[in-house]
Amino acid sequence: MRVSQIARGWDVMKRIGFRIVLLAMVACIGPAMAWDGANVRNCTWCHGTSAQGYMVAPRLAGQRPTYLEGQMRSFRDHTRDNPFSKQYMWGAVAALDPSAARDLAAYFAAIPPRPANDGDANLIAKGKAIYMEGIPEANVASCYACHGPNAEGIREIPRVGGLAYFYVKARLEQWGEGYHSGIGTPMPVVARSLGPAEIEALASYLSFVK
Ligand code: HEC
Ligand code: HEC
């Protein structure tokens, strides 16, 4: 809808009343909004209402925009190659051009994230200790050093606080099994030294971080 049309709308509004013109304007804007809405719904029918995550699809709300954009590129290039990525995401981004990917990343990043709260609460203390200090004797780096004190991420390093237990657990296991997600990321090396009990504790702790 062009400015001249809006101006004409106001003009007419003065004459025939607000409600009728408002209806006419909504009818004009309608198709454009439906397109944007449909685009986001292509994602949220898997990623959940307000993109807070649902089943195996992770939360996108509040994630770092540069990280989201980078992962969409990795799905497109087939660099992120674990089974769920292949099954669900390769197709979902196949037709997204870079500017649509950037817009979607900015849109999801701006939604306030809610924590999944679905880990084992008894493991919070253990998970937090590994997160903050790493395990020096096993050569495990502190997660805090890269992901930040509250697991909020920075620049292209993702927010991991509040992500769902099963998602974080699978990610850490899959890096250890040799799957990739981006080129030259440190996570395969970080995850290789983590045992199952440590992964469980980390994924539990992170699920409760607000
Ligand atoms: C059919 C279901 C489905 C649809 C549709 C879908 N996704 Fe996904 N998405 C997934 C799953 C499942 C994963 C997790 C992959 C994994 O386990 O590594 C994922 C992962 C992602 C990730 C990585 C998140 C992270 O924290 O690393 C991004 C980014 C993403 N999706 C964006 C989108 C966008 C944008 C759309 C819409 C254009 C979309 N998805 C549509 C199922 C879907
Ligand atoms: C040297 C920096 C660094 C350290 C140390 C580090 N990470 Fe990461 N982490 C990253 C980067 C960079 C990514 C993004 C990977 C990509 O682009 O695929 C990431 C991704 C992740 C993800 C995926 C998030 C998502 O949305 O899919 C999880 C989970 C994660 N890290 C957990 C951890 C845990 C737990 C630790 C500590 C044991 C840790 N990281 C230590 C840099 C680091």
Residue 34: is its pLDDT beyond 50? no
The mean pLDDT value for 178-195 works out to 90
Name the least confident of 74-78, 90-94, 177-181. 177-181
Residue pLDDT, tens place only, 43-85: 999 999 899 999 999 999 999 999 999 999 999 999 999 999 9
- What are the residue ranges spanned by the domains of the chain? 1-47, 121-207
pLDDT score of 38 more than 90? no
Which residues partner with 54 through β-bridges?
57
Of 67, 160, 208, which is best to mutate to test ligand 2, by the most ligand atoms within 8 angstroms of its C-beta?
160
Considering only CA atoms, give the Rg of the chain: 22
Q: Can you tell me the mean pLDDT for 95-99?
A: 92
Give the range among 2-16, 17-31, 97-111 with minimum mean pLDDT: 17-31
Q: Answer yes or no: is the C-beta of 57 below 6 A from any ligand 1 atom.
A: yes
CA 207–ligand 2 middle distance (angstroms): 15
Record the pTM. 0.87
Nearest ligand to the C-alpha atom of residue 46: 1
Separation between Cα atoms, residue 190 and residue 194, nearest integer Å: 7
Give the pLDDT score at 36: 61
| 21, pLDDT greater than 60 | no
Confidence of residue 92 (pLDDT cuts 50, 70, 90): very high
Domain 121-207 has CATH 1.10.4160.10: no
> Cβ neighbours of residue 104 under 8 Å, at least 6 residues apart?
39, 40, 43, 68, 72, 96
Residue 50 Rama label (left phi>0; alpha psi -120 to 50; beta): left
pLDDT of residue 182: 83
Residue 29 pLDDT > 90, yes or no? no
- Residue-averaged pLDDT of the chain: 86
Under 8 Å between Cβ of 104 and 75: no
**Is residue 187 within 6 Å of ligand 1 at its C-beta?**
no
| Angstrom distance (rounded) from CA 120 to CA 123 | 6
The torsion angles phi and psi of 156, rounded to 5 degrees, stand at -85, 0
Read off the pLDDT of residues 101-131 as tens digits, 9 standing for 90 and up. 999 999 999 999 999 999 999 999 999 999 9
68 lines ligand 1 (CB under 6 A): yes
